[in-house]
Structure formats: structure tokens, C-alpha cells
Amino acid sequence: MTDFRGVYSVLPTPFTAEDRVDRESLRALVDLFVGAGVQGLTALGVTSEVTRLSEAERVQVLETVLERAAGRVPVVVGATAEGTALCIEHARIAGRAGAAAVMVSPPRMPKLASDAVVRHFAALAAAVDLPIVVQDYPPVSGYAMEPALLARIAREVPSARTIKLEDAPTPLKTVRILERCEGVPVHILGGLGGVFLLEELMAGAAGAMTGFAYPEILLAVVERFRAGDVAEAARVFYRNVALMRFEFQDGIGMAIRKEVLRRRGAIAHAGVRAPATPLDDSTRAALDLVLEWVDPEHAR
């Protein structure tokens, strides 16, 4: 049984200079994050540029990640789709490949009702024998799930009791969800690049599921907080949160994250797929400056 606590790193999808999926760099990414000590990986998420992948490329990414992870850590696989049947199909493919869980947002459609959202997750749970991570990220899904709805899903769909919470203010929403769960065990994982990780932990979150390029830092914050050393967790977090904030900029954040990972030697090319924005000289110069403040060597 997957224990959704700690740090689950969301893998970006590296591309070659010719804009093909770079499977060798993807293997190196798996090794980087697993070697850092993360509790799990997430593939085919929003920051994996999943909406810009063909079906064949989705399979390439899925197979490459699971083969390289080789059971060292559980792998969560994104299965979001605009229809329930397609979501179930994505989830079944992930399950057959060896995924430990699937991550799913509500379908993107106008005037989506709460009852329809619950039915969507209930149908998925009935069709697939895998834990479901409910992704609450309104900027992408187009639908904001209120705390009462997320708690209702947890009560009515037992396999959907992990939430990837990305609807700010996430610390406040974490508290409100947990208050409404009425004794039902729920794990809440922060996202948003880790920019609110410490405050989310203080509010009752179980960890983080995000693609921040220095998982060592996220792990250090979680481990120190769990050990009761909040002051040291705060020291590590606030020392490094500037990069989290810089990396999580709308429109250009994925290009920044890939550039950091390229500099770490994990990927060969930092390109993002159109229409995403590539890095400009000004952003590169700002990244050079902010990286001078990052202290991953002393985080652990």
C-alpha cells in the first residue's frame, strides 16, 4: 500500500534539440530524484507537459519511468482526461504498466457540478484498482473544488483519499479540508513548486508532490519538520524559497526548471514545447543570481 507522505517529485519530460522525447535524459532524471531520497515519483503530470505529448509519447514516458524506477520508489501516473471513459482508459494503461497510483483532476468542461465530479471519481475507482490522487489545480482544470467537495470525495470514494492541493492559499485550504473529513484519513500533498511547503506542513499536510529541481531541499524541510525541529525546517525553507518562487513563474517556470536540471547534469537539453516560452537573456541572468543563494549541500 502506497504511503502518501513525504516528497513525491513530478518529473518533467525532457526533449532533444529535435523536439523528440529524450528517454536517456528521462532515465537520468529518475536517478537524480530517487538518488536524492524522494518517497515517490509522478509522471505525466501538468509540469510534464503532458498535454503536448502524443499518445505514443505518453507510452514512451510511462514505460521509461517505470523501467528506470524499477520498484525503487512508487510511481504515480497522471490520468486526467476530459471524459470519464478516457480517464479510465489512461488509468488502466498506467496500472498495467506498473503504476502505484493515478493522479486525476476533474474533467475540464463548462458548468461542471459537484455531483458530476464525485461520480467521475467514483466511476474511476470502480473501474481501476489503484489509489487515486485527486489533483486540485483550478488554473489547469478550470474548476475549483471547495473543501467540502474534496472531503466528500474522500468520504464516498475510499481510494481517493490523497489530495494534491494547488489552489492557493493552500495552508488555509488544508486546514478547512481536514476539518471537514470527519475522521476519514486524508493525505494532503502541497504542489505549486513547493512555495508554501513549510506553512502547508504546519497546517497538517503530509508532504509535497511537485517538480522543484532540488528535491533535497524539500526533503530536508519535511524531515526536520517531522522531527519536531520547526526552526531548522524554517531555516532551510526560507533560505531556498527564493528559487522555488522564481522557478514557479507562470508561463516560463517549466523552462526555468529544465534549465536548472540541465545545469545539474540531469538533462541534455532544456527545451520546452511550443507554445511554451523559452528562456530569455534577462531571465537567465536572474537565474544566475538566485542560484547563488541556494544551499542544497547543507540542506540534509
- The grid coordinates listed for 148 are 467540502
Average pLDDT for the chain: 95
How do residues 185-198 score in pLDDT, each as one tens digit?
A: 999 999 999 999 99
pLDDT surpasses 90 at 74: yes
Backbone φ and ψ for 184, nearest 5 degrees, come out as -75, 130
Q: Yes or no: say if 162 and 131 are a contact pair by the CB < 8 Å rule.
A: yes
Q: Yes or no: say if 296 and 216 are a contact pair by the CB < 8 Å rule.
A: yes
Q: Yes or no: say if 62 and 101 are a contact pair by the CB < 8 Å rule.
A: no
User: What are the DSSP calls for 191-216, one per residue?
Assistant: -GGGTTHHHHHHHT--EEEE--S-HH
Residue position matching grid coordinates 504498466: 97
Q: What domains appear along the chain, each with residue ranges and CATH number?
A: 6-298 (3.20.20.70)
Q: What percent of the chain has pLDDT over 70?
A: 98
Mean pLDDT of 38-44: 98
Mean pLDDT of 162-169: 97
- Whole-structure pTM value: 0.95
User: What are the DSSP calls for 151-193, one per residue?
Assistant: HHHHHH-TT--EEEE-SSSHHHHHHHHHHHSTT---EEEE-GG
Q: Yes or no: say if 201 and 225 are a contact pair by the CB < 8 Å rule.
A: yes
pLDDT surpasses 70 at 297: no
- The grid coordinates listed for 206 are 503530509
How do residues 202-254 score in pLDDT, each as one tens digit?
A: 999 999 999 999 999 999 999 999 999 999 999 999 999 999 999 999 889 99
Work out the angle at residue 178's Cα, subtended by the Cα atoms of residues 176 and 180, and round it to the nearest 5 degrees: 75
Report residue 177 CA to chain centroid gap. Answer: 19
Residue 22's nearest CA partner among 48, 55, 2 is 48
CB neighbourhood size of 286 (10 A): 14
Cα–Cα dist 6/16, whole Å: 31
How do residues 250-271 score in pLDDT, each as one tens digit?
A: 889 999 999 999 999 999 999 9
CB half-sphere exposure, 5, CA atoms < 13 A: 11
Distances (CA, A) of 136 to 119, 139, 140, 164: 16, 9, 9, 6
Q: In sequence order, what E strands does the chain have?
A: 6-10, 40-43, 75-78, 101-104, 132-136, 162-165, 187-190, 207-210
Confidence class for position 108, pLDDT limits 50, 70, 90: confident
How do residues 122-159 score in pLDDT, each as one tens digit?
A: 999 999 999 999 999 998 888 989 999 999 999 999 99
Find the length of the chain: 300
Q: Are strands 162-165 and 187-190 parallel, antiparallel or unpaired?
A: parallel
